[in-house]
Structure formats: C-alpha cells, structure tokens
A and B are shown apart, each in its own frame.
Chain A
Amino acid sequence: GAGVSQTPSNKVTEKGKYVELRCDPISGHTALYWYRQSLGQGPEFLIYFQGTGAADDSGLPNDRFFAVRPEGSVSTLKIQRTERGDSAVYLCASSLFSKGDTQYFGPGTRLTVL
C-alpha cells in the first residue's frame, strides 16, 4: 500500500482486557511513531522506533503499555489490563529516516474501553 495502515480501525473492549493494535508503515521507512489522541486534544507522543529498537519510549503512560517492532517494519502496540481512561484514537506514523523527516500518519485505531 501507498500509506500507513492501521488495524483494526475500531476496537471495543471491556475494562481489564488485553488489546493489540497494529501498524503497517510505509515500505522502506525506518522510523515509526505511536501517538494517542484523546477527545478534543492533539496527538500525544507515546513511543518512537528506529529500526527494531525503541529509541524513545518516554511517552508511554505506564507499564501497561508496551510496543514492539521485531523486524523493523510492522509494529504492535499492546495494552494490558485496559482502563476506561485508555479510550482514545491511537495513531501511528512513519518517516523515511528521522531527524526532521516528514511523518506520515495512518488513519488511527479508535479504542473504546467499556
């Protein structure tokens, strides 16, 4: 595909459950970013990957949140023991390298925790 894709587009889960959100970056992009956008707010940075490694995970709110990118392409954001406050749109972006390269965003996954 030409752009960043994210699946699922919508996820409804119950409090306490585990969820996985997937991001497929643009082919060849080495940098990948996760953001969270709560209602009425701008996106907030969660984590940044350069290749397979997390170069900056300072935005992850707590240890219930974890992300991987084992082969340097697809990434999965994992949330354990979900809470109602985790409800938000989770955005993924990728860029060719880093250091000011344009970030291209996916359409997001809307997570609703009941």
Chain B
Amino acid sequence: AQSVTQLGSHVSVSEGALVLLRCNYSSSVPPYLFWYVQYPNQGLQLLLKYTSAATLVKGINGFEAEFKKSETSFHLTKPSAHMSDAAEYFCAVSRSDDKIIFGKGTRLHILP
C-alpha cells in the first residue's frame, strides 16, 4: 500500500527565508510524486510532479523538490519565501493505477 507522511502540520518561516516542507513516502513500486498547493477557498493546484525522469523537479512559483529514493523522501523547497506563499501544501503519491494518495497537509505561515 502507498502512503505519504508530511512532517509538521504547521510550518512558519520569515519572509525571504528558505522554505522546506518535508514529505516521506511509502510505495512498493516506483511512484509518481506530487506537491499540490491549496489557497483558502480554492481548489488544489499542482506545484510539481515527479514521474521517474530527473530527480530534481522544478515547479511553479519558484518551488522545487528532490526525489531521494534512498531516503524515500520528496521534500519541497523554495529559496526565498514570499507572503503570497502562505497556503496549505499537500504531498501525494500514486502509481500507474491513477489513484492519488494525499498526505494530511502542511500549513505554511509566512512571518513579516
């Protein structure tokens, strides 16, 4: 069975500081991995996805994530946080059978 674990339900960073949101996955087969962002009262928006090509994946809004098979991790980073990055972030995993399994989410707070 597949699963994802997001470490930290809430993360606070200062504006301009590094953003690091942690995600570990469990999958018996090579996974597809995703990061989604959800702004208040809006739908989920795909930030980036890994599908077994390059291990460093660049997404929208300056975010990127690195697939590390040895650590079963897919952490999300952004070099410099902006106030507009405040939102809830979901890590997710799927296989070729299309069902996406989401983590519980991490709410990112940006401090001025």
Contacts and interface: CB of A to CB of B under 8 A. Distances in A.
Interface residues of B, number: 24
8 contacts: A41-B104, A42-B105, A43-B100, A44-B102, A56-B99, A93-B44, A100-B96, A107-B42
Interface of A: 3-4, 31, 33, 35, 40-45, 48, 55-56, 58-59, 91, 93, 98-100, 102-108
B90 A43 contact: yes
Interface of B: 9, 32, 36, 41-46, 49, 51, 90, 92, 94, 96-105
B17 to A, nearest CB: 25
B44 A31 contact: no
Contacts of A91: 43-44
Contacts, number: 58
A108 B43 contact: yes
A105 B108 CA distance: 20
Contacts of B94: 100
B90 A42 contact: yes
A3 B44 CA distance: 12
Closest 6 CB pairs of A and B: A42-B102, A105-B43, A105-B44, A107-B43, A43-B102, A45-B99
A105 B45 contact: yes
Nearest to A47: B99
A45 B92 CA distance: 11
B41 A42 contact: no
